[in-house]
Structure 1
Amino acid sequence: MGINKEHLLNAYEHGFIDRSTEKVGHHSPRIIINSNEDNVLSSMLDELEECRSFSISVAFITEGGLATLKSTLHELAKKNVKGRIITSTYLNFNKPKVFKALLGIPNVKVRITDKEGFHAKGYVFKNQHYTSMFIGSSNLTDAALKKNYEYNLKLTSLDNGAVIQHFNDQFDALWRDSAPVDRAWIKAYEEAYIEEPIQRKVLEVIEDRSIYQYRNATSPVIKPNVMQQEALNSLDQLRQTGKDKGLVISATGTGKTYLAAFDVKHFKPQRMLFLAHREQILEKSKNDFSNLIGESQSDFGIFSGNKKTDEAKYLFATVQTLSREANLNHFNPDDFDYIIIDEAHRSGASTYKKILEYFNPSFLLGMTATPERTDDTEIFSLFDYNIAYEIRLQQALETEILAPFHYFGVTDYEKDGQVIDDTTALSQLTNTERIEHLIAKIEYYGHSGEILRGLMFVSNREEAHALSSSLNMHGYKTKALTGLDTQHERQKTVQAFERGDLHYIITVDIFNEGVDIPSINQVVMLRQTKSSIIFIQQLGRGLRKHEDKEYLTVIDFIGNYKNNYMIPIALTGDKSYNKDRLRKSLLSRNIISGLSTINFEAVAKEKIYKSINTTPVSRQSFLKEMYVYLKNKLGHVPTLLDYHKDIDVIDPTLILHKYNHYLEFLAKIKEIELDIPHDSHQILTFLSKEISEGKRVAETFLIKTIIKGPVEVEAFQLEMRKKGYRMTDDTMQSVLRVLTHQFYTEPDKKKYGEPLVEVIGNKIQATHTLMKTLENPFLYEHIHQVLALSVENSKAYNQSSALTINQKYSRKDACRLLEWDKDEASTMYGYKYKHNTCPIFITYHKDETIEETIQYEDQFLDRNTLKWSTRSNRTLQSKEVKAILKAHGEGAHIHIFVKKDDDEGTEFYYLGQGHIDYDTLQEKQMNSGSGKPVVMMNMIMEKPVAYEIYKYLESSI
């Protein structure tokens, strides 16, 4: 699509001359500063994805910085889009490995300048119609592009602009005078390379990579990290309230073992028992406790199959050994006043329960990264439902406790249109072509650090051994480990791996937990994601910090698996199972914190998108599974508000969309027997379907008010205004039409039964039907829960306005919130003008194969401009069109609602008001002149469309 010269001039007038100008401008110049909402990387990737060529000149490049671009560069290579990079060897900052990685990118040429003082930071992306420039302070490092406080100016130029021409001339001259990077140059650089010392505070890392110490002349000082300090405070507060059990939920690598040691040191028990399921965990944990507590080595002992030091003050025991009758009876029930259960999600097993039922500690601490179980075992009751502290992956990344990661969702091997799926035979999984495909990907996406230390997760034992054999034949040093290997064999393999004698350990599921190898710098997933729990466990194997790596590379081979929708759930931690949020997360640049990035190759992204669309997340069995988990976690039947508060379970609106109300759902899954009057059922249905989402909270507050007694209309309006809520006389009448059911269609009136309120004179009061329902304590409590949920949901909406930009609404919602007399959703279709408002509903089908000259679909020309067409068989003289044009000119509001596809349900994103650009009005014939006429025009958006939504709508998936 071309760029309008006038609009570009207007944008520059706004950017450099007069910010108050109301002229329509596109591609405004702007300063980009890394923040939670935006960063240099996001804006740069937008331009890189669409460019025809690119030129980059930067002094410094890191492996992590290059990794952030690799997935996009891979897609550009498929389109034969090429680029040039000029960099330097200034201060020996760029490591030889970076140049090797650059050489492995087929569509990028690299040259080295020896220009003295070279410190340039310029990124130029040439599009078909314009060129974008980023000039500022960011080198090609992940920190500079995503985290550091940097200033970068983004400019847009047409080809004949002086600035871009000057840049191109300077770049070309520098390119001619620079040396090409090839294997010979890299070899020479590698031989001469000496890493320059960087003056900084030396940060030593001890065995638990989430704990930092400053080395001084005497001995290391071990201090709790941010997560540990907060957890220690929570545990102390828990005990002060008289609790004697607590569960800490903490992401892998965040230092659970040291947390326990810190708490034990503070608690000062007479004796402590540490329980784990593997002996190597005991050895490491004993050493960690000894390092931190600092008492005599003789106070620390192990009780396992090989060692039985039963008199130690701090005893570390395997569950398998201690749970044996003879061993257990060797101890008195009161021997230990502090007991710790490592990997507490296992504590539902009979061996754990046997030990816990035998001993009587003063305090019991459970630690786990994944309290959710895939085997329906419930553990929360063992700790009296006391969750002392909880930190998940996103939080740990935000606080920089873990190493950042770069995730690459890549397309698995494909041949003759067939991609790896659930039924693929072993011979296909390990054939020569797939192995070559695998090697190409792991070499392209690479790893941080000099020595490759990777974990590969595969589907079964046979595949693990066959893959290991194939990779060894290709020059890799690998070893397959499965559940059939002895503990000794596992330990020996891990030791060889840590020494650098192995490139990969290939395994099925035995390394999901209980293995601490901080040096892992690459995780390869060659199996379908059946569980977000297992995904995070396997990802977590590489998230511990280590001095030899800056980040973890995660390469996930995505085939035609029905559970692909689990991938964005696992990566984002968003377990609401809201399909819309999952779709958007595939396109968002900022869904993961810190330096970490999530990248998908195009075909892999489409496979996940398809899985999201086809997965029935509202099926009863799945909703029941979520219900059981939350019930187990809380220790009681969860309320709707409990769902809303808990990040680990579904959004409660999923239940209310499928069932008339929550009590009906509980009855369906046989949790309760429901026998309530029909009119009470109708009231619950109305509140659940129409009020619970809180899109306008005035109805909710009016119901809460009249339950206590009648209220005067003016008094209620005044109270709403004091709270800052929208409350005009028209709003008040709209609220009353909703609660008296006058707003609704006849089918809805029949469904919802008697109204909730009645108006007598200037007073509003509850109807007899509502008050009679409230006499039932069970129903009274549930109605209050629905209203409480509504209040919580309402916080996501701007209650001082009728509609909230970027939130979703149905056609019925629009009729109600725009204060129409009736629900006219069934006759609205694409748009309707009424009551001085014109809502426009657009289903956005983007098809880049359609020529622009015959493209009549509604389409955003950019984030500020919507090209819109009326219904067919309309002209500028049509009564309907003339009414809209005239009314808008006199101040009537046009509201734009958009969704990407009909599969997304009945709700649309509200993108704000649009203003007709009268200069663009035109009549056109559809279907190249043979069809009926339409009126086309541009709508100028009152506010630019939000970046993430715009990208989502414009994406081709």
Structure 2
Amino acid sequence: MNLRPYQQQARESIQAQWEGGVRRTLLVLPTGCGKTIVFSRVTEDRVRMGERVLILAHRGELLDQAADKLAKSTGLGCATEKAEQTSIGSWFRVVVGSVQTMMRDKRLEQFSRDHFDTIIIDEAHHCLSDSYQRVLQYFEGANVLGVTATPDRGDMRNLGSYFESLAFEYTLPKAIKEGYLSPIKAMTIPLSINLSAVGQQAGDFKSQDLGTALDPYLDSIAAEMWKVAKDRKIVVFLPLVKTSQKFTRILNEIGFRAAEVNGDSQDRSEILEDFDNGKYNVLCNSMLLTEGWDCPSVDCVVVLRPTKVRSLYSQMVGRGTRLHPGKTELLLLDFLWHTERHELCHPAHLIAENEEIAQAMTKQIEEAGIPLDLEQVEKQAAEDVIAQREEALAKQLEEMKRRKRALVDPLQFEMSIQAEDLSSYVPAFGWEMAPPSDKQLKTLEKLGILPEAVDNAGKATKLLERLDKRRAEGLTTPKQIRFLEGRGFEHVGTWQFETAKNMIDRIAANGWKLPDGVNPREYRGD
């Protein structure tokens, strides 16, 4: 099975992290981009090196999926650690293990602490829980790979308390652009649902309260769904089994062919198969189908389980992002959730780089009243936010440009080169949060960046990488930016090195005054 280019890149990056001495690293791939295939091939690489590998997950479906993909893509068999099944005495070098089973002292103590050389955690956003940590601490000498579809920096910061690096990240917009996932159109249904009385638990809304809050709106929601999605194949996520069952009845009454599945459904596999084959066109569930279930023909997702947890939101939407013949896009229906808190996940959070852009996108989608392509909305919102931010920073930048300094402030540099990723950077991993090293500070100073304004190692690393890349591409240096912007030129960071050098030479030859006919506000380095 040939890997896609990004999958091969991910595989190589993970191995490079371990070879470089980083023991705990992360892989971030959107749902539907083949994370199981990637970690299967990584597993194969480690087995070829003579290692033993443990693949950990928290649900039986994920373990079965991992074992199946491993066998199909590499030919490797594996033993299982789950309930009464054990790998002890097995000659297989790969074990798929249920964390609920493995965490028990009695089970752990059957293994020596150095039994596994590598541990792979599927759905790694769960791995900070006590059960996972107990297993990871027992085999503390092993290399660890965490695999997750989490798209959010906040989640990444949490994971950064355990993992040391991000080996590879493939973003949802990139996957859509390169044709590996379906485009997403988001639409806000003009139905205001009041969540102000809903309590919180473990950082998210209480399911019980959500079910109660949602109940009065179910008929209206069903009617709105009929208007915009009656011909689509829909998955609906709800907070409670009883709410899911009630909503299924309402949908059937108005003309949908709806079915419901939950943890106690005896005929679950039959219902899923019938839905796959088109007997039903709506499938309702209470958070059962967030992981380990795929139906590529789904072309509409309705999230009636509002959440603040990006990883959970991403998992729900991910049930509809796979490609399928005849499918042109995924329609994602959002609602006007009325809450005093602003941290609720919306479609925008799937691809927005930061909360500012997400809020601008959400407003645009809410006001449109029709489905909008998420990528196009993000592009417009990002441009608007950057323009507003530049305006707000203009005075600050003017002040910086007037300062009698030989070095350029990082903010001025970032704005000049239009590096949104640098100016909005937040450290995620422990090493990134540490102070910059003396070597980093000296190198930054030598390259023309004011080192005192860089307060963490992660930012210093990113700046140095960007400066290296710019030098290789023949773009302007920080010192050129400082000099020319101090004389009124704008966005000198986008110019070529030679263009800036020529302008500085002209100014020098003119007694350090601007040459006649040069308007710095309009000059773009052409």
TM-score (norm 2): 0.65
Q: Distance in 2 between matches of 1:376 and 1:386?
A: 10
The reply to whether residue 367 of structure 1 matches residue 70 of structure 2 is no
Q: Distance in 2 between matches of 1:578 and 1:391?
A: 20
Q: Secondary structure at the match of 1:243?
A: coil
1:255 maps to which of 28, 34, 41: 34
Q: Which residue of 1 aligns with 2:172?
A: 393
How far is the alpha carbon of 1:705 from its aligned partner?
4.9
Q: Distance in 1 between matches of 2:338 and 2:5?
A: 41
Matches within 5 A, 1:270-285: 270-285=51-66
CA shift digits 1:334-354 (9 cap, x unpaired):
222221111111111111111
Q: Secondary structure at the match of 1:577?
A: helix
1:504 maps to which of 271, 276, 282: 282
Q: Distance in 2 between matches of 1:322 and 1:509?
A: 24
CA shift digits 1:813-849 (9 cap, x unpaired):
xxxxxxxxxxxxxxxxxxxxxxxxxxxxxxxxxxxxx
Summarize the Cα distance change of 1:498–1:333 in structure 2 as closer, same or farther, 3 Å threshold. farther
Task: Tell me if structure 2 keeps the 8 A contact 1:406–1:598.
Answer: no
1:339 maps to which of 119, 142, 153: 119
1:534 maps to which of 312, 315, 338: 312
Q: Which residue of 2 aligns with 1:354?
A: 134
How far is the alpha carbon of 1:470 from its aligned partner?
1.1
How far is the alpha carbon of 1:471 from its aligned partner?
1.3
1:525 maps to which of 284, 303, 307: 303
The reply to whether residue 429 of structure 1 matches residue 131 of structure 2 is no
1:420 maps to which of 173, 177, 193: 193
How far is the alpha carbon of 1:378 from its aligned partner?
3.4
Summarize the Cα distance change of 1:487–1:799 in structure 2 as closer, same or farther, 3 Å threshold. farther
How far is the alpha carbon of 1:558 from its aligned partner?
3.1
Q: Which residue of 2 aligns with 1:438?
A: 225
Summarize the Cα distance change of 1:527–1:275 in structure 2 as closer, same or farther, 3 Å threshold. closer
Deviates more, 1:553-562 or 1:274-283: 553-562
Q: Which residue of 2 aligns with 1:703?
A: 405
How far is the alpha carbon of 1:362 from its aligned partner?
4.6
Q: Which residue of 2 aligns with 1:236?
A: 15
Q: Secondary structure at the match of 2:256?
A: coil
The reply to whether residue 227 of structure 1 matches residue 15 of structure 2 is no
How far is the alpha carbon of 1:704 from its aligned partner?
4.1
2:189 maps to which of 410, 413, 430: 410
Paired letter, 1:544: R
Task: Tell me if structure 1 keeps the 8 A contact 2:31–2:315.
Answer: yes
Q: Which residue of 1 aligns with 2:333?
A: 555
Paired letter, 1:364: V
Task: Tell me if structure 1 keeps the 8 A contact 2:122–2:148.
Answer: yes
Q: Which residue of 2 aligns with 1:87?
A: none
Task: Tell me if structure 2 keeps the 8 A contact 1:339–1:361.
Answer: no
Matches within 5 A, 1:109-258: 222-258=1-37
How far is the alpha carbon of 1:578 from its aligned partner?
5.4
Task: Tell me if structure 2 keeps the 8 A contact 1:528–1:558.
Answer: no
How far is the alpha carbon of 1:801 from its aligned partner?
7.7
Q: Secondary structure at the match of 1:270?
A: coil
Task: Tell me if structure 2 keeps the 8 A contact 1:275–1:319.
Answer: yes
CA shift digits 1:728-769 (9 cap, x unpaired):
xxxxxxxxxxxxxxxxxxxxxxxxxxxxxxxxxxxxxxxxxx
Paired letter, 1:430: L
How far is the alpha carbon of 1:316 from its aligned partner?
1.0
**Quick check: which one's strand share is greater?**
1
Paired letter, 2:289: F
Q: Distance in 1 between matches of 2:273 and 2:362?
A: 42
Q: Which residue of 1 aligns with 2:201?
A: none
Q: Which residue of 1 aligns with 2:74?
A: 293
Paired letter, 1:513: E
CA shift digits 1:95-143 (9 cap, x unpaired):
xxxxxxxxxxxxxxxxxxxxxxxxxxxxxxxxxxxxxxxxxxxxxxxxx
Q: Distance in 2 between matches of 1:542 and 1:784?
A: 42
How far is the alpha carbon of 1:783 from its aligned partner?
4.1
Task: Tell me if structure 1 keeps the 8 A contact 2:176–2:182.
Answer: yes
Structure 1 or 2, whichever has the larger Rg, is 1
CA shift digits 1:505-537 (9 cap, x unpaired):
213434333433333222123354644443322
Q: Which residue of 2 aligns with 1:841?
A: none
Paired letter, 1:429: Y
List gaps (5 residues or longer) in structure 2: 198-211, 410-415, 418-449, 467-477, 492-516
Q: Distance in 2 between matches of 1:468 and 1:563?
A: 29
Paired letter, 2:300: Q
**Highest RCO, 1 vs 2 (Cα 8 Å, sep ≥ 6):** 2
After superposition, the CA RMSD in angstroms is 4.7
Task: Tell me if structure 1 keeps the 8 A contact 2:258–2:283.
Answer: yes
2:251 maps to which of 449, 471, 474: 471
Task: Tell me if structure 1 keeps the 8 A contact 2:186–2:334.
Answer: yes
Summarize the Cα distance change of 1:801–1:543 in structure 2 as closer, same or farther, 3 Å threshold. farther
Task: Tell me if structure 2 keeps the 8 A contact 1:477–1:504.
Answer: yes
Paired letter, 1:304: K
Q: Distance in 2 between matches of 1:372 and 1:598?
A: 15
Q: Distance in 1 between matches of 2:287 and 2:64?
A: 22
Q: Distance in 2 between matches of 1:227 and 1:463?
A: 40
Q: Distance in 2 between matches of 1:706 and 1:803?
A: 15
Q: Which residue of 1 aligns with 2:439?
A: none
Q: Distance in 2 between matches of 1:528 and 1:582?
A: 18
Q: Distance in 2 between matches of 1:375 and 1:240?
A: 26
Task: Tell me if structure 2 keeps the 8 A contact 1:345–1:373.
Answer: no
Q: Which residue of 2 aligns with 1:319?
A: 99
Paired letter, 1:243: V
How far is the alpha carbon of 1:474 from its aligned partner?
3.0
Q: Distance in 2 between matches of 1:373 and 1:323?
A: 28
Task: Tell me if structure 1 keeps the 8 A contact 2:240–2:286.
Answer: yes
Summarize the Cα distance change of 1:802–1:528 in structure 2 as closer, same or farther, 3 Å threshold. farther
Q: Distance in 2 between matches of 1:393 and 1:276?
A: 23
Q: Which residue of 2 aligns with 1:955?
A: none
Q: Secondary structure at the match of 2:320?
A: coil
Q: Secondary structure at the match of 2:356?
A: coil
Paired letter, 2:319: R
Q: Distance in 2 between matches of 1:375 and 1:705?
A: 35
Q: Distance in 1 between matches of 2:323 and 2:169?
A: 20
Q: Secondary structure at the match of 2:323?
A: coil
Q: Distance in 2 between matches of 1:706 and 1:513?
A: 48
How far is the alpha carbon of 1:540 from its aligned partner?
1.3
Q: Secondary structure at the match of 1:224?
A: coil
Q: Distance in 2 between matches of 1:420 and 1:576?
A: 22
Summarize the Cα distance change of 1:317–1:373 in structure 2 as closer, same or farther, 3 Å threshold. farther
Task: Tell me if structure 2 keeps the 8 A contact 1:303–1:315.
Answer: yes
Q: Distance in 2 between matches of 1:570 and 1:468?
A: 28
Summarize the Cα distance change of 1:500–1:598 in structure 2 as closer, same or farther, 3 Å threshold. farther
Matches within 5 A, 1:913-928: none
How far is the alpha carbon of 1:279 from its aligned partner?
0.7
Paired letter, 2:226: I
Task: Tell me if structure 1 keeps the 8 A contact 2:186–2:372.
Answer: no
Summarize the Cα distance change of 1:533–1:263 in structure 2 as closer, same or farther, 3 Å threshold. closer
Using the aligned pairs only, state the percent identity: 22
Q: Distance in 2 between matches of 1:523 and 1:395?
A: 21
How far is the alpha carbon of 1:562 from its aligned partner?
4.9
Q: Distance in 2 between matches of 1:463 and 1:305?
A: 32
Q: Distance in 2 between matches of 1:283 and 1:804?
A: 57
Q: Secondary structure at the match of 1:553?
A: strand
The reply to whether residue 515 of structure 1 matches residue 302 of structure 2 is no
Summarize the Cα distance change of 1:428–1:487 in structure 2 as closer, same or farther, 3 Å threshold. closer
How far is the alpha carbon of 1:365 from its aligned partner?
1.1
Q: Which residue of 1 aligns with 2:441?
A: none
